[in-house]
Amino acid sequence: NLAKYNGNLDEARMYNRALTPAEVSNLYHSAPGPVAYYPFEDASGTTSIADKSSHGLNLTTSGSPTFVPGKYGRAIKFADGSLDGASLSNALYKMNNYTYGFWFRYDTGFDGSFRQIFSLYGASDRQPGLWRYSNLNCFHSVADPGNLGFSCIGPTGTSTYWQTGKWYYYSQTKNGTTLTAYVNGIKVATTTVSDPMTTSTTPTMYLGKSISYNSAGISLDEFKLYNYSRTGGQITEDMNAGHPLGG
């Protein structure tokens, strides 16, 4: 008996020749590029942050962010509690599953207020949103307007704390109802969130200052945003500037 397939298909391809085992392996391990990629190799005093993906989603700066030595090349630096930031509204930022990742260094400790690091602002600033915690040296990470996510996430999991002046690679994925945090390519925490997220047609992406929060005192480098959940190996490649673990 034949029945219709009850499921999903993605990235279907057909070739007019037999592929070699190596070609099949390469296809299996390949993945779409980022929706947005900001290496922050921009000139000091610029009002535009160049997107090095294929989508041209250049950010417009606010306040007076500066460019400093980063993990690779240059990084953007936001002053603590300031109006420093960069933003853009675009329909490509509307996504349900996602991955974002970046190198960062805390330049100042907590100051008693929640400070914005990253947000996709649609129906709220929590789709997702990432803050420096008000009175702890950790991230407050929320994946949807219902405030589900990680209340305090740090280098080795929940309720652990970042060192000021040290570079870390932080990445977060959402795959259905599963939210996962990685630090330096290592999975450190998972939790359950809402699915699908509620968002607007044209969200605004914020780095640093957002509508409701001033910026954290932080330097960012190699920020990438994907519209799907990356694997641990792919996150390691992003962390290593495109090279696999050990490569």
In degrees rounded to 5, what are phi and psi of residue 174? -120, 125
Give per-residue pLDDT as tens, 43-82. Answer: 767 789 999 999 999 999 999 999 999 999 999 999 999 9
Closest CA to 31 of 177, 228, 175, 170: 228
Q: How far apart are CA 181 and CA 200, in angstroms?
A: 25
pTM above 0.95, yes or no: no
Q: How far apart are CA 30 and CA 238, in angstroms?
A: 13
What tens-digit pLDDT sequence spans the chain (247 residues)? 566 666 666 667 777 678 676 656 555 556 799 999 999 998 767 789 999 999 999 999 999 999 999 999 999 999 999 999 999 999 998 888 999 999 999 999 899 999 999 999 876 667 789 999 999 999 999 987 777 899 999 999 999 999 999 999 999 999 999 999 999 999 999 999 988 876 667 889 999 999 899 999 999 999 999 999 999 999 999 999 765 554 4
pLDDT confidence of residue 3: 66
Cα–Cα distances in angstroms (integers) from residue 7 to residues 10, 53, 113, in the given order: 10, 31, 46
Report which secondary-structure segment, H or E, holds 220.
Answer: strand 218-226
Q: How far apart are CA 86 and CA 66, in angstroms?
A: 12
